[in-house]
């Protein structure tokens, strides 16, 4: 499914085309794609919220499949191995951030489905060092959301400094939130969910949230930590007001509307913390997959054929998908 021009998703800009299968370069593997999750970042790429980096482009960065060909010098995975491809696909390895173990802040990163073709296709290539072994606990479609929604949710949870047995407030109940709530509950924490959709609020309660509502001021108690998944900057001040003293709000989105002016005494005084989340490290991905397999996390997925990528993304934008939409490619 090829993007040739930045356009609104309502215009169905992705076209089903036949392209030559990509050949893996030295150090790369080629993956026969079985499933690829869809993500709001795909929307930001397609609609131009992120500056265009490459056109034409095959989007998609939550890719699960099997290795079918290896490039020269590649030996990490054997043909037939089940692997995942995530958003982060290359870092320079030499800048100060990479040297400090902060490769998510690399000065020259490349991202799947943005700088390079992604997984809305039958085949995808990736440097073998940036592929993830997929635990056998997960079927292909359920593994796909872990590769972005899961990894970014995991990093956002880490950045939120949720104390053991603490109370977490989640704003927005999309793909990442469905995974984070399972992580937090498994760690013995209480979860509040603030989201507009009644269906999402009901699902949050079914999944174990102790409160779900639309207005943060209605939360029954202040939270120790909070994660804002909704790309809505106007939610930052009320989310900060709903924190305990010393609490932390992490902002999980790659794109967000402007944050409005806010009163220092209400929102930031008493050593409240506001943190952003930028991409992920490979360590984040490895740790998330291990913990998800132990629990085990059960991502909620809605399946679509590859050719229906436009419709799936239109439903995502309209907030009509429970959990994660996943394109089934290998059938």
Q: Is there a single domain that holds both residue 79 and residue 226?
A: no
Q: Is there a single domain that holds both residue 247 and residue 258?
A: yes
Q: Is there a single domain that holds both residue 252 and residue 284?
A: no
Collapsed DSSP state (helix, strand, coil) of residue 233: helix
Residue 190 sits in which domain range? 153-276
Last residue of a domain, one of 237, 256, 276: 276
CA atoms of 55 and 267, how far apart (whole Å):
42
pLDDT above 70 for 331: no
Q: Is there a single domain that holds both residue 60 and residue 145?
A: yes
Q: Is there a single domain that holds both residue 97 and residue 53?
A: yes
Q: What radius of gyration do the chain's Cα atoms show?
A: 19
| Averaged pLDDT score across all residues of the chain | 95
pLDDT above 90 for 188: yes
Q: Which residue has the tokens 């709000």?
A: 249
pLDDT above 70 for 167: yes
DSSP symbol at 224:
E
The residue-averaged pLDDT of 239-258 equals 94
Q: Is there a single domain that holds both residue 188 and residue 132?
A: no
CATH classification at residue 65: 3.90.180.10
Collapsed DSSP state (helix, strand, coil) of residue 294: helix
Q: Is there a single domain that holds both residue 38 and residue 136?
A: yes
Q: Is there a single domain that holds both residue 7 and residue 82?
A: yes
Mind listing the pLDDT tens digit for each residue in 47-104? 999 999 999 999 999 999 999 999 999 999 999 999 999 999 999 999 999 999 999 9
Last residue of a domain, one of 276, 292, 317: 276
Q: Is there a single domain that holds both residue 17 and residue 140?
A: yes
Mind listing the pLDDT tens digit for each residue in 154-164? 999 999 999 99
Q: Is there a single domain that holds both residue 294 and residue 272?
A: no
Q: Is there a single domain that holds both residue 138 and residue 241?
A: no
pLDDT above 70 for 264: yes
CA atoms of 225 and 239, how far apart (whole Å):
10
pLDDT above 80 for 291: yes
pLDDT above 90 for 255: no
What is the number of domains present in the chain?
Answer: 2
């Amino acid at each position: 499914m090829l993007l040739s021009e930045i356009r609104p998703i309502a215009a169905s800009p992705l076209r089903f085309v036949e392209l030559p299968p990509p050949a893996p370069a030295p150090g790369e593997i080629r993956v026969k794609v079985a499933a690829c999750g869809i993500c709001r970042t795909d929307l930001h790429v397609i609609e131009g919220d992120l500056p265009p980096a490459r056109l034409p482009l095959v989007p998609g960065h939550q890719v699960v499949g099997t290795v079918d060909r290896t490039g020269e010098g590649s030996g990490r995975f054997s043909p037939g191995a089940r692997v995942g491809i995530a958003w982060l696909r290359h870092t320079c390895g030499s800048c100060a951030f990479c040297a400090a173990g902060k490769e998510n802040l690399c000065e020259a990163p490349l991202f799947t489905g943005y700088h390079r073709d992604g997984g809305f296709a039958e085949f995808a290539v990736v440097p073998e060092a940036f592929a993830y072994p997929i635990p056998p606990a997960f079927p292909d479609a359920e593994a796909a959301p872990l590769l972005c929604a899961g990894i970014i949710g995991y990093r956002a949870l880490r950045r939120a400094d949720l104390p053991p047995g603490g109370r977490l407030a989640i704003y927005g109940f999309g793909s990442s939130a469905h995974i984070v709530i399972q992580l937090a509950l498994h760690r013995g924490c209480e979860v509040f969910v603030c989201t507009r959709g009644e269906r999402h609020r009901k699902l949050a309660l079914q999944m174990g949230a102790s409160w779900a509502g639309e207005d943060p001021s209605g939360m029954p108690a202040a939270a120790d930590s909070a994660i804002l998944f909704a790309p809505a900057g106007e939610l930052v001040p009320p989310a900060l007001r709903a924190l305990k003293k010393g609490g932390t709000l992490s902002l999980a989105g790659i794109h967000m509307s402007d944050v409005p002016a806010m009163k220092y005494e209400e929102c930031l005084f008493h050593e409240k913390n506001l943190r952003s989340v930028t991409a992920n490290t490979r360590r984040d991905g490895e740790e998330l997959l291990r913990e998800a397999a132990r629990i085990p996390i059960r991502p909620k997925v809605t399946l679509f054929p590859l050719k229906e990528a436009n419709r799936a993304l239109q439903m995502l934008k309209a907030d009509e998908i429970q959990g994660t939409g996943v394109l089934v490619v290998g059938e």
